[in-house]
Structure 1
């Protein structure tokens, strides 16, 4: 190998590492966003009152 080929492979290695780490970061952000939005649909914000059979107390 000549000196220019070794230099080129180093640049390609650095570029590949940068692209790979950016892809992993994007996947983690997407998964985190999906997890948060999925819980909103399945879990109610406030539980409904439990019926006890008694009339509600009012003033």
Structure 2
């Protein structure tokens, strides 16, 4: 037995007290767009630490090659 007193039909609210159950669609258009935007944002996050390390190694290596070419004296004999 409930503790609520009975309410006459004239005094009952025309609005529902509890929300009716929803049928949840798995993939509607909005959910698909939001998931696609989240995946795109994840791809644009930025370079990883591994990519930064590889970039630094390539930069240092190319600087060393350029310096070696600039200061290479070839097979010259010293004139002194």
TM-score w.r.t. length of structure 2? 0.37
TM-score w.r.t. length of structure 1? 0.46
Which structure: larger Rg?
2
